[in-house]
Chain A
Amino acid sequence: MKTLVLVEHDNTKLNDATLPVVTAASKLGEVHLLVAGHNCGSVAEAAAKIAGVAKVHVADDPAYAHGLAENVAPLAAGLMADHDAFLAPATTSGKNIAPRVAAHLDVMQVSEILSVEGPKTFTRPIYAGNAIATVESTDAKLVITVRGTAFEKAASEGGSAAIEAVSGPGDAGISSFVGAEIAKSERPELTSAKVIVSGGRALKDAETFEAVITPLADKLGAAIGASRAAVDAGYVPNDYQVGQTGKIVAPEVYFAIGISGAIQHLAGMKDSKVIIAINKDEDAPIFQVADIGLVADLFTAVPELTAAL
């Protein structure tokens, strides 16, 4: 079986989100990668070095510069004539493109797989991870998105895959990129961070969130996350949201500060190795999953903790 993995990148750097997808693909068969972008030669070179990759297909065209699904999906669907499975990371970009590829191929996508159980059998979470379904595809080709935290990352060095230029239909002419507001931060990325400090509604406002959460995260070299309530209230940007409908994380240590522990939040962080919760309500549901809990007012406890570390 030959697989085609969609590489996530910004035309200069390969995004690590690709690496667990390579691992998932290698359980199915020979791994080929697709780099669709513009002036993306450095990405193709980095992709060719990933251990276990047999071939890198590069489509270099202005139409693919911003990963527009309308343009990338037909390209990927075309390449699927020679491949049996298409895999993408379950990132916002992968989720945007993969179902469009599936529809072009007339197959049902298997979303956000947690494991490969057989050539066509996978597990995936449903109902905010409150149930795990084992599903078997009956389609001739597979289209899959992969939950990054569920698979080891493939080694980013060690491979020497052949790089082959490919082309697709190019610009479908129905959509265009206008702009992006992407925050550049020195902090570790949320989905790959070893330690995450997350704050909830209790943090009051953006200034208070910054004053209480940031110093602790700085001390720990941690990424910062948040509950939906904190994002909706504008304390932090939307891409900080951890949960069923935000980012799925599984760090070594996850701090939940002033977060109640709604099922939608737990869905995004309950696979963390150690969960530490600080909440003033001793009955808060977050304590049912926390390894270490402190019942306290966060406005005194967190600064004390930060000072003592």
Chain B
Amino acid sequence: MKILVPVKRVIDYNVKPRVKADGTGVDLANVKMSMNPFDEIAVEEAIRLKEKGAATEIVAVSIGPAKAQETLRTALAMGADRAILVETDEEVEPLAVAKILKAIADEEQPGLVILGKQSISDDSNQTGQMLAALMGRPQGTFANTVEVDGDSVVVKREVDGGLQTVKLALPAIITTDLRLNEPRYASLPNIMKAKQKPLSVKTPGDYGVDIAPRLKTLKVAEPPVRQAGEKVADVAALVEKVKALGLA
């Protein structure tokens, strides 16, 4: 079984994003970029399935600028076997990403596609579900545990209130939640080896997908800033404040 893992290049989660002064977006110039953290979890899960013998090949895919090659090399260094970059300098929305991934899935015929549940940049939380709909296949979103069992996969999902377990017929789409696993770091020898692994470069046009945006961004603004309040000296003073709020 082949596993397809879409990975997105995003602002590093440790960086505090700044809105551009002209209100057109978030300033990404000279900002540290990394693989979307949920996608690292996706790559890790694919590798573990391969190590367990449930998968034979892992193909990482990224849709983005030439620099997204770095993100793909990270996936290869972690343990993916080959990579596809669908290169474009345009912002590609989840629906168009899902359409490109659908076209790639048609070619590659993966048993599983494992995505992150959400990109920490656009916070959309859509692509996996959209891909599943376009492929007409089941989805195990917000996965906490994944077990391949013959021609199906059992996914324990993190839902409001606790956990839900579903059984999905393969091929299936999975999106990762934080507790699925702890991604490994790529070792130096593996980073070197990753440079030799195959990486093919395509364009959205190669897949016949129109990436024109459906949502027009009219403005991007700073959220209202919260002012720091006061520090109280001791617990007694805190008790007074809490009582003044009518809490006790």
Contact = CB atoms under 8 A, between A and B. Distances in A.
Contact of B214 (A92, A108, A296): A108
A38 interface: no
Contacts of B209: none
B166 A177 contact: yes
Interface stretch (A29-37, A40-48, A50-58, A300-308): A300-308
A195 B247 CA distance: 9
A244 B160 contact: no
A95 B238 contact: no
A304 B203 CA distance: 63
A309 B232 contact: no
Contacts of B142: 92, 96
Interface in B206-248: 213-223, 226, 228-232, 234-239, 241-243, 245, 247-248
Q: How large, as a class, is the contact surface on chain B?
A: 35 or more
B4 to A, nearest CB: 17
A208 interface: no
Q: Which of B16, B121, B122, B163 has most A Cβ within 10 Å?
A: B163
A265 interface: no
B231 A238 contact: no
Contacts of B241: 276, 292
A68 B165 CA distance: 11
Contacts of B121: 126-127
Interface stretch (B47-55, B60-68, B75-83, B126-134): B126-134
26 contacts: A69-B129, A70-B139, A91-B160, A92-B141, A93-B160, A95-B141, A99-B94, A103-B130, A107-B214, A111-B124, A121-B218, A126-B123, A133-B217, A135-B216, A139-B214, A173-B169, A175-B167, A182-B162, A231-B178, A237-B162, A247-B160, A253-B247, A292-B241, A294-B231, A294-B232, A294-B235
Contact of A309 (B157, B213, B216, B248): B248
Contacts of B165: 177-180
B125 interface: yes
Given A70-B132, A292-B230, 16 more contacts: A66-B164, A69-B141, A70-B138, A109-B126, A112-B123, A131-B222, A134-B221, A135-B217, A174-B137, A174-B169, A180-B164, A252-B245, A293-B229, A294-B232, A294-B237, A308-B235
A167 interface: no
B117 to A, nearest CB: 7
A175 B214 contact: no
Pairs A-B, 6 closest by C-beta atoms: A291-B229, A103-B133, A99-B129, A108-B214, A99-B126, A103-B130
Nearest to A89: B160
B69 interface: no
B123 A104 contact: no
Q: Which of A126, A177, A219, A293 has most B Cβ within 10 Å?
A: A126
Interface in B136-182: 136-139, 141-142, 144, 154, 157-169, 177-179
Contact of A125 (B133, B223, B236): B223
B82 to A, nearest CB: 27
Interface of B: 11, 13, 16-19, 25-26, 38, 93-95, 98, 117-118, 120-134, 136-139, 141-142, 144, 154, 157-169, 177-179, 213-223, 226, 228-232, 234-239, 241-243, 245, 247-248
A108 B245 contact: no
B164 A276 contact: no
B231 A309 contact: no
A137 B133 CA distance: 21
Contacts of B177: 238, 245
B130 A102 contact: yes
Nearest to B216: A136
B158 A92 contact: yes
Interface in A195-219: 195, 219
B126 to A, nearest CB: 4
